[in-house]
Homo-oligomer: A and B are copies of this chain.
Amino acid sequence: MTRAPTGHRGQDTGAAGPQPGCDWSGRSVPAKLLGVLAAFGPDRPALTVTDLSRRSRLPLTTAHRLVGELTRWGALERGADGRYRIGLRMVEIAALCPRGVGLRDVALPYLEDLYEATHQNIQLAVRDGLEAVFVERIAGRHAIAVHSRVGARWPLHATGVGLALLAHAPQDVQEEVLAAPLAGFTSRTVVDQKALRRMLAEVRRTGLAVSDGQVTLDAYSVAAPVRGARDDVVAAGSIVVPADDPQRLAWGPAVRAAARGISRSLGAPYAARRL
């Protein structure tokens, strides 16, 4: 349960040179500004200007000025404790991401139906480069704990949604993942290139991706690809249940049906209603 995911990509983006604290005149102003935003993370949602200066490797005066601009705009909010947090303006802008809230809005009714039918964890993820990013999660209060916070990133080869996305990714993406060392999260994570290749072929053949103890030993997930207007795979939906769930083989068809419903709503030809 405790292996780390790949983490928030922002963690090391602010750092761009040998010495902390110095003014990177080599970095453009936009890069510095984005570096301030990247200083925030799930484990540090509230930061002082000093924290921000240190984490984004900017002089305090520069950090002050940029934090001021971001706060005026609403990208940051200053709390009563003097710390800064990500502001509502970012939520508003992020809601315009077609692969984020846009996709989520189309998908949510289907995910909710799946949740109501199963009362298990329901997830929706998209691929970003070599990672899966969760864009929605419905977690039952009594369902198994999972590491799928919205915005969290995971490598493609371990999770159900990741395997579904990887199996349908462009060939060069697949080869890039297969060529790199594959991180093992549990004794069951598939880290062998040939075994992973076989698994991906199986995902394409069956239309379902199964992660059985490959992320945490106690979790079993089954995922299905979601297709867009050109029948291209644009997302993957999954259900996560305890690994010892005696009904676990029964969840596949429900996930597949939900994924098909979302695909139809996205205009995927394969899922179009026929008379």
- A interface list, Cβ under 8 A from B: 8-10, 13, 28-31, 33-34, 37-38, 40-42, 45-46, 66, 69-70, 73-75, 77, 85-102, 105, 108-109, 112-113, 115-116, 126, 128, 133, 135, 138-141, 149-151, 153
Q: Are A10 and B93 in contact (CB under 8 A)?
A: yes
Given A108-B139, A116-B116, decide whether A97 and B87 contact each other with a Cβ distance below 8 A.
Answer: yes
Q: Are A91 and B133 in contact (CB under 8 A)?
A: yes
Q: Which of B30, B46, B150 contacts A70 (CB 8 A)?
A: B30
- When C-beta atoms are compared, the residue in chain B nearest to A41 turns out to be B96
C-alpha spacing A180/B19, complex, angstroms? 52
Point out the residues of chain B lying under 8 angstroms from A31, CB to CB. Answer: 69, 73
Point out the residues of chain B lying under 8 angstroms from A69, CB to CB. Answer: 28, 30-31, 34
Point out the residues of chain B lying under 8 angstroms from A96, CB to CB. Answer: 40-42, 45, 85-86, 151
- State the copy count for this chain: 2
- When C-beta atoms are compared, the residue in chain B nearest to A80 turns out to be B230
Point out the residues of chain B lying under 8 angstroms from A73, CB to CB. Answer: 13, 31, 34
Q: Which of B77, B94, B135, B138 contacts A93 (CB 8 A)?
A: B94
Given A69-B34, A151-B95, decide whether A100 and B105 contact each other with a Cβ distance below 8 A.
Answer: no
- Closest Cβ of chain B to A115, distance in Å, is 7
C-alpha spacing A87/B33, complex, angstroms? 17
Point out the residues of chain B lying under 8 angstroms from A94, CB to CB. Answer: 86, 90-91, 93-95, 151
Given A86-B97, A108-B139, A138-B108, decide whether A92 and B9 contact each other with a Cβ distance below 8 A.
Answer: yes
Point out the residues of chain B lying under 8 angstroms from A29, CB to CB. Answer: 28-30, 33
Point out the residues of chain B lying under 8 angstroms from A42, CB to CB. Answer: 95-96
- Closest Cβ of chain B to A216, distance in Å, is 19
- When C-beta atoms are compared, the residue in chain B nearest to A85 turns out to be B98
Q: Are B100 and A91 in contact (CB under 8 A)?
A: yes
Q: Which 6 A-B pairs have the closest CB atoms?
A: A95-B151, A94-B94, A91-B100, A29-B29, A86-B97, A92-B151
- Closest Cβ of chain B to A173, distance in Å, is 15
